[in-house]
């Protein structure tokens, strides 16, 4: 296949700024990108959204960036404008918090995590390996490990038993990680600038710089160089190297181009892939079916690898893509392009005559109709009011909305309402979902007062946790947007509304309800803030309260009074003693959790995983009032 085909770059997307380095998380869900001026951002690979607030490292230009094998940590090092890096930093990949700033003393050139994520191993100018405990930030008793030569590159074997160290002028040394003793020295008279283990831990790939640049392959058990070598030519150094999980294919960046080699023969499988700005980094996804690569200008591309190992055009875009070759001018274009990405077009399967003249309900960005498919199955069709004009901005909004719809179509979880497909319905795009005969959570509780409210609440939390891990902000969580399946399972619906509303028609209050559901909304939303993971947590607390009590939050206050209470008085609802008794086994725990969800400062709120973990301990039995003997109470 000739990778000069321009269709391969048709759906490229860009990050906000130039990129110096990037790393894919081992589970393939997140992409960490090091920008200029020492800015570190983490994106969802499924949606392209930025997941964490921008972090600022010590230094300006990244030379080290990588996730720990357990996905929990990120290691970084960056140079200043006039000085090399002298320290390594460890970050919490979930929160973006800096865990440790490790002073290396001399210049540091390379670092990697051990396979069990317990160590960060670094090396550089001082001719020794430093072993840092990732739990304490302190060096272990075995540190430093004397190498005797300056260290340029290190790689830990995936099985955790060996460490390869490219050092000195022409050597790579192999160390036993159980005792840090040297096992082998690999020499071929060529300067070794880059070293990497294959996924099966059997082979070491070394970038050897000599008159004829190439990547040599060595057997780790015999310390012998194999006859296989990957030709690089004299065009430039290897900047990145990534193996397919089965070790059959290796992809690398050479002189700004992507090279893909057959490991068994060392031959290039395809012509080099060029980019106008030059590629900088490349990674295989852990499933082996996709590649992700990027260039210095922030362009990111994802290719899908088919069974015949052909790499197709990129798969997703972020929230800020500006692809020039994909043209979406009409609503039909949206459905067409999403169908190409696996989201079914159900236009021919829908019987539009069953929809009724008027919608059964209207929302902030569309209407909901009760319809039937041609086979008689009842479905809900949720139309999306997308404005299609002639100006470029309208077309960009249409493209962004298509990306949001695609992200939602990929969400698969028992507590998230599945999107069956898309359809053209009465001149608008319609999202087709199952018709939930039990209705919304408030309706279900009214008809089934004996339903276990704690199980409902925990299930809702599980659904929101899944969305957040997928990089999706719900934006309008409340009981009315929790639908109950025929089996009694709660499913989150209408998620992503906050993002989609940026790209839909703006209607007056007389034609649709307000976009902010005041009784569930965090205070920052009334002050012009955007919906975030933290506003979702606030709404989750209100939705749990709604489930437990069977009433909407603030039942005795008007909408205006609710806004005043939340924004001015910084108040939260009063404790419903009838449903969350003070004298109950888990009542205080639940009430403390809800109050944390309603903190005025968003950063003081827990994340959804913390809420889920506590909710799993709260049961209906634990909320039953306990008989208290007043004689047992202390009296001041």
Higher per-residue pLDDT: 265 or 60:
60
Q: Residue 511: pLDDT band by 50, 70, 90 thresholds?
A: very low
**pTM over 0.95, yes/no:** no
Domain 441-623: CATH architecture, name and number where available: Orthogonal Bundle (1.10)
Residues 6-26, mean pLDDT to the nearest whole number? 64
Taking a C-beta distance cutoff of 8 angstroms, is the pair 116, 158 a contact? Answer: no
Number of Cβ atoms within 10 Å of the Cβ of 312: 14
Number of Cβ atoms within 10 Å of the Cβ of 286: 15
Q: Residue 257: pLDDT band by 50, 70, 90 thresholds?
A: confident
Which residues, at least 6 apart from 489, have a Cβ–Cβ distance to it below 8 Å? 414, 415, 459
Report pLDDT for 497. Answer: 52
Report pLDDT for 308. Answer: 41
Report pLDDT for 531. Answer: 87
Q: Residue 522: pLDDT band by 50, 70, 90 thresholds?
A: very high
Q: Is the pLDDT of residue 279 over 80?
A: yes
Report pLDDT for 66. Answer: 94
Report pLDDT for 401. Answer: 64
Report pLDDT for 321. Answer: 36
454-500 pLDDT tens trace: 999 999 999 999 988 887 888 889 999 999 998 899 999 876 554 54
Residue 346 token pair: 């159900």
Half-sphere exposure of 539 (CA within 13 A, CB side): 27
360-373 pLDDT tens trace: 887 655 788 999 99
Higher per-residue pLDDT: 191 or 550:
550
| Residue 575 C-alpha from the chain's centroid | 36
Residue 222 token pair: 């015999």
Taking alpha carbons only, the member of 438, 439, 418, 421 closest to residue 430 is 421
Report pLDDT for 611. Answer: 97
Task: Break the chain into its structural domains and give their ranges.
Answer: 1-16+243-317, 331-434, 441-623
For residue 561, the surrounding DSSP H or E stretch is: helix 559-567
Torsion angle of the four alpha carbons 257, 157, 52, 465, in this order, in degrees rounded to the nearest 10: 120
Cα–Cα distance, 46 to 413 (Å, whole number): 15
Torsion angle of the four alpha carbons 50, 56, 62, 64, in this order, in degrees rounded to the nearest 10: -80
Which residues, at least 6 apart from 403, have a Cβ–Cβ distance to it below 8 Å? 47, 48, 316, 317, 318, 319, 321
Cα–Cα distance, 221 to 224 (Å, whole number): 8
Domain 331-434: CATH architecture, name and number where available: 2-Layer Sandwich (3.30)
Q: Is the pLDDT of residue 507 over 50?
A: no
Cα–Cα distance, 504 to 387 (Å, whole number): 6
Start-to-end Cα distance in the chain: 85
Torsion angle of the four alpha carbons 53, 54, 57, 61, in this order, in degrees rounded to the nearest 10: 160
Taking a C-beta distance cutoff of 8 angstroms, is the pair 440, 543 a contact? Answer: no
For the chain, give the mean pLDDT. 82
% the chain with pLDDT above 90: 42
Residues 111-130, mean pLDDT to the nearest whole number? 93
């Amino acid at each position: 296949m000739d990778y000069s085909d321009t269709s391969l770059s048709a759906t490229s997307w860009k990050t906000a700024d130039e990129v110096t380095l990037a790393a894919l998380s081992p589970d393939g869900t997140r992409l960490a990108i090091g920008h200029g001026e020492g800015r570190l951002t983490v994106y969802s690979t499924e949606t392209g959204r930025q997941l964490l607030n921008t972090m600022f490292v010590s230094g300006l230009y990244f030379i080290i960036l990588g996730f720990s094998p357990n996905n929990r940590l990120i290691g970084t090092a960056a140079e200043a404008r006039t000085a090399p890096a002298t320290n390594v930093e460890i970050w919490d990949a979930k929160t973006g918090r800096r865990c440790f700033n490790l002073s290396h003393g001399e210049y540091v050139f390379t670092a990697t995590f051990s396979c069990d994520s317990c160590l960060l191993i670094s090396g550089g100018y001082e001719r020794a390996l430093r072993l840092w405990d990732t739990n304490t930030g302190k060096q272990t008793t075995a540190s430093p490990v004397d190498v005797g030569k300056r260290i340029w590159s290190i790689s830990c074997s995936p099985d955790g038993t060996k460490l390869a160290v490219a050092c000195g002028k022409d050597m790579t040394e192999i160390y036993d990680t159980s005792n840090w003793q040297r096992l082998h020295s690999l020499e071929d008279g060529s300067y070794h600038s880059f070293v990497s283990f294959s996924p099966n831990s059997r082979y070491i790939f070394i970038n050897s710089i000599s008159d004829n640049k190439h990547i040599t392959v060595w057997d780790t058990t015999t310390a012998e160089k194999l006859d296989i070598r990957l030709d690089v030519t004299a065009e430039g150094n290897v900047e990145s190297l990534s193996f397919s999980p089965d070790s059959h294919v290796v992809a690398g960046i050479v002189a700004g181009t992507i090279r893909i080699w057959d490991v068994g023969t060392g031959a290039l499988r395809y012509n080099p892939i060029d980019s106008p700005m030059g590629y900088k980094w490349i990674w295989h996804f852990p499933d082996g079916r996709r590649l992700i690569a990027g260039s210095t200008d922030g362009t990111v591309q994802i290719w899908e690898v088919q069974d015949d190992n052909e790499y197709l055009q990129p798969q997703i875009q972020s929230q800020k893509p500006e692809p020039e070759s994909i043209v979406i001018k009409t609503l039909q274009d949206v459905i067409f392009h999403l169908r190409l990405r696996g989201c079914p077009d159900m236009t021919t399967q829908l019987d539009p005559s069953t929809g009724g003249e008027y919608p059964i309900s209207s929302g902030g960005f569309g209407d909901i109709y009760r319809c039937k498919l041609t086979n008689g199955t009842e479905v809900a069709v949720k139309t999306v009011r997308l404005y299609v004009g002639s100006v470029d901005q309208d077309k960009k909004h249409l493209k962004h909305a298509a990306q949001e719809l695609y992200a939602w179509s990929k969400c698969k979880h028992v507590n998230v309402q599945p999107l069956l497909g898309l359809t053209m319905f009465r001149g608008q795009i319609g999202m087709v979902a199952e018709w939930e005969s039990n209705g919304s959570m408030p309706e279900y509780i009214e008809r089934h007062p004996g339903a276990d409210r704690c199980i409902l609440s925990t299930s809702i939390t599980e659904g929101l946790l899944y969305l957040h891990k997928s990089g999706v902000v719900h934006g309008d969580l409340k009981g009315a947007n929790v639908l109950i399946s025929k089996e009694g399972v709660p499913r989150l619906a209408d998620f992503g509304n906050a993002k989609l509303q940026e790209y839909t028609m703006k209607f007056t209050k007389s034609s649709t309800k307000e976009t902010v559901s005041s009784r569930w909304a965090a205070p920052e939303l009334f002050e012009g803030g955007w919906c975030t993971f933290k506003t979702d947590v606030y709404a989750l607390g209100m939705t749990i309260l709604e489930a437990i009590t069977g009433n909407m939050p603030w039942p005795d206050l008007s909408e205006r009074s609710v806004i005043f209470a939340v924004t001015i008085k910084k108040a939260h609802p009063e404790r419903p003693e009838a449903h969350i008794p003070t004298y109950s086994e888990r009542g205080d725990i639940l009430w403390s959790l809800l109050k944390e969800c309603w903190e005025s400062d968003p950063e003081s709120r827990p994340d959804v995983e913390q809420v889920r973990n506590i909710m799993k301990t709260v049961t209906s039995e634990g909320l039953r009032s306990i008989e208290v003997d007043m004689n047992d109470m202390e009296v001041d």
